[in-house]
Each structure stands twice: as C-alpha cells, then as structure tokens.
Structure 1
Amino acid sequence: MGSSSVGLVSSMQGTWSTSISGDEYYHGLMQSVPRYVNIGKPICSPPSMKNVNEGKGVFAPVVVVTRNIIGKKRFNQLRGKAIALHSQVITEFCKAIGADAKQRQGLIRLAKKNGERLGFLA
C-alpha cells in the first residue's frame, strides 16, 4: 500500500482529507487496540467428572466399599438395574393410585434427590 491522499465530500459543506497511508493507518489503529483483555474469573466453574456425592450420606461408605470390591463397571451395571427397577415400582404405584405422568416424574426426581442425600449415588 502506498501513500495516497483521500478526499471525502460531506453532504454539508467543505471536504475532509487525510494524507495517512494505509500502512500508517493500520499500525496506528492496531496500537489503539489492547493486546490482552482481562476477562476476570469465570461466572460458573467448568464441569467436573468428579462425583459430588462422594462421602456424603449414611450409605456412602457402604456404596464406596462395594464399588471397590466388585469393580466400577459391574457396580454401575447393578446400580443401573436397581434404578430401573425402582423407577418401575414408582410407575406401578402411580398407576395404582391414578397419578398422571407429571406426578410420576416428580416422584422419580424425589427418589433421585433422596438417593443422593442418603449416599446411594456416592
């Protein structure tokens, strides 16, 4: 880019002109832009794969010992089967008392929350 004079015509009166070359304009613009922006602390923490229920609840020690004895893979299979069975029991209970799907889902959420509190999900 070479040095050139640019004339801009205003709709009002007169003209605006500059004799800054393209390179000079670019470097001047880049000097006015900060190189680093301090964004501060993140608002929420990044997702963690750590179990937040580890060591909490009455049954947590039994759950942790059992998982260590039978292995994580087998333990998760058994836990999945137990959760599915418990959900079926809740569904059958809801059918027996005439509860709708929204109430059933609320009971399943309550069961999960109680399981966390008691340490079954440690």
Structure 2
Amino acid sequence: MSTSVSVVKGARGLGSSFRGGWGTTSLMGGDEQLLMQSLSAPNRVQVPARPVRPRPMMKNVNEGKGLFAPIVVVTRNIVGKKRFNQLRGKAIALHSQVITEFCKSIGADAKQRQGLIRLAKKNGERLGFLA
C-alpha cells in the first residue's frame, strides 16, 4: 500500500492533495507515525462504570412521625389533598408573616429571620405538621 502526498503551489496559495490510506510511509518519523496511527484508530478508553443510585422517591419522609402526624393524616383524608394543601399553604404563609413581624419588632435582620423560618419548618417536621 502506498501513500502519496503532493503539495501544489499555485495562484491560490498552498494546497494539498491526499491520495491513499493512512498506512505508514518512510517519509514520516517516529512521532509523526504514532500521531497518524492514533488518528486512524479510534481510542478505546475504559471508563469505570458509575455506581447506580436509587431514584429519589417522591414520598413524604415524615409520614406517620411526630405527635400531630395522625391528626394531619386524618384531616388530609377527610378534606382531600388539594384543599388540604391550600389550607396548609395559607397556614405556613401566616406563620411566616408572624415570624417576620416578630423579627421587625425585636430588630432582627433578614438573615436571622430566615434562620427562624427554617427552624419553624424543622420543628413542624418533627412535630408531624408536615406529614
């Protein structure tokens, strides 16, 4: 198998015409030969398989936990999920407003207010209000 490369200098500048395969030729040195071989053959790199993680479940992790969880679950079943979530959202909004007003009255900044709201959420989870 032969490879011929010709360089033509014309009015348009330098151009090249390549005929043949990617076989080795005596015109190339060791480094060029390795480069040409690496370009011709696809690199097969072994990538370690990523560990398979279980998909997160869209389930309330607080279901059945806390002092008020049974009352919350029964109320949700009686009222219905949609109406219950609307009422819960209103209650959470009112509670956040109370916390905001409290922070204004004592002169707490926004960062402290945000921390108190997070604390209220954690306490609500522990008590079972978010079941």
Runs of 4+ in 1 over 6 A off after TM superposition: none
Q: Which has the higher contact order (CA 8 A, sep 6+)?
A: 1
Residue identity opposite 1:41 in structure 2: V
Identity of aligned residues (%): 70
Residue of structure 2 in register with 1:79 after alignment: 88
Q: Which residue of 2 aligns with 1:39?
A: 50
What is the TM-score normalised by the length of structure 1? 0.72
Secondary structure of 2:64's partner?
coil
Pick the structure with more strand per residue.
2
| Aligned pairs, number | 106
Aligned runs of 1:18-37 on 2, under 5 Å? Answer: none
Structure 1 position 6 matched with structure 2 position 24? yes
Q: CA RMSD in A?
A: 3.0
**Unaligned 5+ runs, structure 2:** 1-19, 35-39
Under a length normalisation based on structure 2, what TM-score does the superposition of the two structures give?
A: 0.67
State whether structure 2 residue 84 is matched by structure 1 residue 66. Answer: no
Question: Which residue in the other structure is 1:115 paired with?
Answer: 124
What's the secondary structure of 1:6's corresponding residue? coil
Instruction: Give how far 1:38 is off.
Output: 4.0
Deviations 1:35-88 (A, max 9, x none): x9643333xx43321111101101000000000000000000000000000000
Higher Rg of the two aligned structures: 2
What is the distance in 1 between the residues matched to 2:56 and 2:52? 15
State which drifts further: 3-12 or 84-93: 3-12
In structure 1, the gaps of 5 or more residues are 18-24
Is 2:64 the counterpart of 1:55? yes
Amino acid at match of 1:121: L
Q: Given the superposition, is the C-alpha separation of residues 6 and 85 from structure 1 closer, same or farther in structure 2, using an over 3 Å criterion? A: same
Cα gap change, 1:87 to 1:10, in 2 (>3 Å)? same
Equivalent-residue separation in structure 2 for 1:40 and 1:92 (angstroms): 48
